[in-house]
Structure 1
Amino acid sequence: MKDAKVSVLVGEDVVTVKREGSNRAVMAKILGKVSVEGVEVLCLDRLVHESHEQQFGDWTLAGAVTTLLSRPLLGAGAATA
C-alpha cells in the first residue's frame, strides 16, 4: 500500500490534517497536551487517521476512538554525531 503524503498543522487549540490529492481538510480540537521523557503527546477529540495509518511525518498515530499524536520534542535527548 502506498503511503499518502499528509500535512499536520498544529495550532493553539486545533489540529488540521490535509492529505495530498484531496481538497478536504480534517480538523480536530486538542483536548490535552502532555510532554513526558522527551515525547510530546496531543490528545484529539476525534479520529483523524485511518486504521492502516501509523505515521504522519514526524507524528506517530494511535487510538481507536480518538487520535493520539506523539513525536519527540525538538532537542530533547537528541544524539549528536
Structure 2
Amino acid sequence: MKEAKVSVLVGEGVVTVKREGSNRALQANVLGTVEADGVEVLCLDRLVHASHEQQFGEWTLSGAVTTLLSRPLAVPEAVLPQ
C-alpha cells in the first residue's frame, strides 16, 4: 500500500492533520503531553489515523480509541569550546 503524504500541525492545545489530495483536515484536542526517555508523546481526544497507518512523517502513531502521536525529542547540538 502506498504511503499517503500527511502533514501534522501542532498548535496550542490542538493538532491538525491534513492529507495530501484532500480538502478536509482533521482536528483533535491535545489531552496531555508526556516527555520521557527522549520521546515526546501527545495524547489526542480522538482517532486521527486509520488502523493501517503507522507513521505521519516524524510522528509514530498508536492507539485504538484515541491517537497517540510520538516522536524523538530534538537533541540540542553540542557546543564545542573554541
Normalised to the residue count of structure 2, the TM-score between the two structures is 0.91
Letter in 2 for 1:55: Q
Q: How far apart are residue 15 of structure 1 and its match?
A: 0.1
Q: How far apart are residue 12 of structure 1 and its match?
A: 1.1
Q: Could you say which residue in structure 1 is the equivalent of 2:24?
A: 24
Distance, in Å, in 1 between the alignment partners of 2:51 and 2:38 is 26
Distance, in Å, in 2 between the alignment partners of 1:34 and 1:11 is 16
Distance, in Å, in 2 between the alignment partners of 1:23 and 1:44 is 22
Q: Could you say which residue in structure 1 is the equivalent of 2:44?
A: 44
Letter in 1 for 2:8: V
Query: Which secondary structure state, in structure 1, belongs to the residue aligned with residue 50 of structure 2?
Result: coil
Distance, in Å, in 2 between the alignment partners of 1:41 and 1:11 is 14
Distance, in Å, in 1 between the alignment partners of 2:23 and 2:70 is 25
Aligned-pair identity (%): 79
- The equivalences for 1:1-81 within 5 A come to 1-75=1-75
Normalised to the residue count of structure 1, the TM-score between the two structures is 0.92
Q: How far apart are residue 35 of structure 1 and its match?
A: 0.2
Distance, in Å, in 2 between the alignment partners of 1:64 and 1:16 is 19
Is the radius of gyration larger for structure 1 or structure 2?
2
Q: Could you say which residue in structure 2 is the equivalent of 1:79?
A: none
Number of matched pairs: 76
Distance, in Å, in 2 between the alignment partners of 1:33 and 1:17 is 17
Distance, in Å, in 2 between the alignment partners of 1:46 and 1:52 is 16
Gapped regions of structure 1 (runs ≥ 5) = 77-81
